[in-house]
Chain A
Amino acid sequence: MTPSDLLSILPLLVLVVWACALLLVDLWLKRKGVTAFLAALGLALTAGLALAQAGEETTAFGGMVALDGFASFLNVLFPLSGLLGIAVAYGYLKRMNIERGEYYSLLLFSTAGMMLMAHAADLVVVFLALEFLSLPLYVLAAFARPRLDSEEAGLKYFLLGAFASAFVIYGIALIYGATGTTSLSGIVAAIEAGSLGTSGLLLTIGAALFLVGFGFKVAAVPFHMWTPDVYHGAPTPVTAFMAVGAKAAGFAALLRVFVTAFPALDADLTPVVWVLAALTMFVGNVVAIAQTNIKRMLAYSSIAHAGYILMAFVAFGNPATRADAVASALFYLVTYALTSYGAWAAVIALEKQDPSAGSGQAASGLEINDFAGLGRRRPALAAAMTVFMLSLTGMPPTLGLVGKFYLFRTVIEAGQVWLAVIGVLTSLISAYYYLRVVVVMYMREGAPETTREPWLDFTWAVSALATVILSFLPMALFAWASAAGVMGF
């Protein structure tokens, strides 16, 4: 280990040290607002450091981690998503009587895990990062204990997460068995040496198991069963953080491993990913129609969006389209992060503790019908929510349209026109349930009780503005995402 090793993961180091320190400092802080502020400061510092690293390209710790455009892009995205996770949680935790300082340290630890995932250039590190980002999320999902649905969410997420980790580790073991190494560059070298013989099959099975494990993490069909229950039961700010961060980190790992190590398995894996993506888009969007609860609806919407991002993977094997696959997936992750944070913030604004039930009971205000009359009561919030729904559908003038456009273009460039057609058709289906929220907000009479909290309002307002404004100048963001290439070995 040399100082340059440490420098290359400096943002991550700062965040981890900050989180440990915050854990201690929190013990002496009476006002949890100060903890929240300090946590936000740490994340902002991390994002700044990561931004300063842009353009560097190196490996560190003997090839365990890589610092490249891909890592620095995501290392800016993850702390920013953590910042929004604090902004939406600050008032909520107070309101729901679950204000504990550990929320912020756990969120910081989870963000650090995601950043490690973006760096990971060795399957051992990929696995550790997966655990490192997931463990805090399991705890956060159960953070509203003793509320039953929150405890259930935590336990379900933990059990299925452990199950998924087992798939990942088994896959890694088989890959190691076939190639004799866990480093991504070593795997490529072993494949190129062409001496795999029958263990080539082992490698393919290993890669497939790896895909299954991360399929759980990113909530792809048929590994999505946990998603609605966990997203529904977890405290809503945690759900927002989880929907964005965990999904992005899962895709970060898949993108890096697939693009770096598995292009040679293209012929075997592309049909699998094709079917996964099509199934995920179809099931996610169709089942979302039947939901009456906004949290469950957004959970199925998040499943569907995992399907859209999975589409990019059909282009990973072809050198000509590989860069586009990474860029469009990253772009879509940003799109989804902005939009979905905004939508969840709007949900949080309407959520309240059920006065009729005891303190151990679920919150109310989460049915889609509870949005009735929002257009009259809170015109700005309703307008923002409309923007988010349009963006999730992929309609102009929002970033969602641009994100989908890039994805579909990549898929068509890769020659998979039918997958793009499925993508467009399922987007049409999704319009039904997204626009229903808009209809309810503006066309139905109602008197929704909403919360006005400065940071919450800030979140949805900024998300809505960014979703609209960035859609008019997507080239800047896309250029950045395109520059975020995965380093070749």
Chain B
Amino acid sequence: MDFTLLLFFLLAATAVATALGLLLSRNAVYAALFLVLNFATVAVFYLLLGAPFVAMTQVTVYAGAIMVLFLFVIMLLGAEKLPKGEALPWQRPLAIGAAVILFAEAVYLLVQRVRLTAALPDPGTWENSMESLRQMAGMLFTDYLLPFEVTSLLLLVAMIGAIVLTKGERAVRS
């Protein structure tokens, strides 16, 4: 059993544990922090698979930007504590049933369709994975230059919109 495989199993255990922690914690802030940890673990999975760009995106976009927003909203609303008891009592058994079915399907597919091997796919050399990153960057600034620029305009418009909608109201003249 080589090192990456050991690492994989450690990370897998962490990923499952943090996902469970997210579901089971009764405090929304803890749940959000568990989710950050989960995202970070998944990012390392991507690294193991030789996809450094996706890994970095996972960290910056999901673990970084989106989760910070989540935490902001939770804290601003003061909604850390989830209420005791459940609004929909039939929800829990239904969810457990659905989860079991989904899990069974996933296992069946894994056994049937994917040949399970005790080794991770070869991530290739670091040079190779950097080359793919270089190609992606090249694409972004050649073939996809126009969409890239339009995206920047889109963000500008979103910013203007947010300011227009939230700017302090001027004295109403009536």
Query: Which residues of A are at the interface with B, using a C-beta cutoff of 8 A?
Result: 1, 16, 20, 23, 61-62, 64-65, 97, 100, 102, 105-106, 109, 112, 116, 122, 124-125, 128-129, 131-132, 135-136, 138-139, 142-143, 145-146, 154, 353, 359
Are the C-beta atoms of A139 and B144 separated by less than 8 Å? no
Tell me the dominant secondary structure on chain B's binding face: helix
Are the C-beta atoms of B164 and A139 separated by less than 8 Å? yes
B123-145 vs A, Cβ < 8 Å mask (1 yes, 0 no): 00000000000000000001111
Are the C-beta atoms of B154 and A125 separated by less than 8 Å? no
Are the C-beta atoms of B147 and A106 separated by less than 8 Å? no
Which of A16, A106, A128 contacts B164, CB < 8 Å? A106
Are the C-beta atoms of B154 and A132 separated by less than 8 Å? yes
B150 within 8 A of A: yes
B174 within 8 A of A: yes
Which of B142, B150, B163, B165 contacts A132, CB < 8 Å? B150
Which of B150, B161, B163 contacts A128, CB < 8 Å? B150
Q: A195 to chain B: closest CB distance in Å?
A: 22
Are the C-beta atoms of B147 and A139 separated by less than 8 Å? no
Which of A102, A143, A359 contacts B160, CB < 8 Å? A102
The 10 closest A-B pairs by CB, nearest first: A139-B161, A61-B146, A128-B150, A359-B172, A102-B164, A359-B174, A64-B146, A135-B157, A124-B147, A62-B143
Measured in the bound complex, the distance between the Cα atoms of B173 and A154 in whole Å is 23
Instruction: Report chain A residues within 8 Å CB of B145.
Output: 1, 61
Are the C-beta atoms of A136 and B157 separated by less than 8 Å? yes
Query: Which residues of B are at the interface with A, using a C-beta cutoff of 8 A?
Result: 142-147, 150-151, 153-154, 156-158, 160-161, 163-165, 169, 172-174
Are the C-beta atoms of B161 and A136 separated by less than 8 Å? yes
Instruction: Report chain B residues within 8 Å CB of A132.
Output: 150, 153-154, 157
Instruction: Report chain A residues within 8 Å CB of B165.
Output: 139, 142, 145, 154
Are the C-beta atoms of A135 and B154 separated by less than 8 Å? yes
Q: Given A97-B172, A106-B164, does the pair A125, B147 have CB atoms closer than 8 Å? A: yes
Measured in the bound complex, the distance between the Cα atoms of B151 and A297 in whole Å is 36
Which of A62, A105, A131 contacts B154, CB < 8 Å? A131
17 more A-B residue pairs beyond the given contacts A124-B144, A124-B147, A125-B147, with a C-beta to C-beta distance below 8 A: A61-B145, A62-B142, A64-B146, A97-B173, A102-B164, A105-B160, A106-B161, A109-B160, A125-B150, A128-B147, A128-B151, A128-B154, A132-B150, A135-B154, A139-B165, A142-B165, A146-B169
Q: Given A102-B164, A109-B153, A132-B153, does the pair A64, B173 have CB atoms closer than 8 Å? A: no
Q: A172 to chain B: closest CB distance in Å?
A: 12
Which of B142, B146, B164, B173 contacts A65, CB < 8 Å? B146
Residue of B whose beta carbon sits closest to that of A154: B165
Instruction: Report chain B residues within 8 Å CB of A136.
Output: 157, 161
Measured in the bound complex, the distance between the Cα atoms of B147 and A61 in whole Å is 10
Which of B147, B156, B157, B158 contacts A64, CB < 8 Å? B147
Are the C-beta atoms of B157 and A106 separated by less than 8 Å? yes
Q: A103 to chain B: closest CB distance in Å?
A: 9
Residue of B whose beta carbon sits closest to that of A23: B160
Residue of A whose beta carbon sits closest to that of B148: A128
Can you list 20 contacts pairing A with B, beta carbon distance less than 8 Å?
A1-B142, A64-B143, A64-B147, A97-B174, A106-B161, A122-B147, A128-B147, A132-B150, A132-B153, A132-B157, A135-B154, A136-B157, A136-B161, A138-B161, A139-B164, A142-B165, A143-B164, A353-B174, A359-B172, A359-B174
Instruction: Report chain B residues within 8 Å CB of A100.
Output: 164
Instruction: Report chain A residues within 8 Å CB of B163.
Output: 102
Q: B55 to chain A: closest CB distance in Å?
A: 21
Q: B64 to chain A: closest CB distance in Å?
A: 22
Q: A108 to chain B: closest CB distance in Å?
A: 10
Measured in the bound complex, the distance between the Cα atoms of B144 and A128 in whole Å is 12
Measured in the bound complex, the distance between the Cα atoms of B150 and A131 in whole Å is 10
Measured in the bound complex, the distance between the Cα atoms of B143 and A62 in whole Å is 6
Measured in the bound complex, the distance between the Cα atoms of B155 and A124 in whole Å is 16
Instruction: Report chain B residues within 8 Å CB of A145.
Output: 165, 169
Measured in the bound complex, the distance between the Cα atoms of B172 and A353 in whole Å is 13
Instruction: Report chain A residues within 8 Å CB of B143.
Output: 62, 64
Q: A19 to chain B: closest CB distance in Å?
A: 9
Q: A120 to chain B: closest CB distance in Å?
A: 10
Residue of B whose beta carbon sits closest to that of A122: B147
Residue of B whose beta carbon sits closest to that of A183: B143
Instruction: Report chain A residues within 8 Å CB of B144.
Output: 64, 124
Residue of A whose beta carbon sits closest to that of B169: A146
Measured in the bound complex, the distance between the Cα atoms of B147 and A128 in whole Å is 7
B151, B157, B161: which has the most chain A beta carbons within 10 Å? B157
Measured in the bound complex, the distance between the Cα atoms of B153 and A23 in whole Å is 13
Which of A102, A135, A359 contacts B158, CB < 8 Å? A135
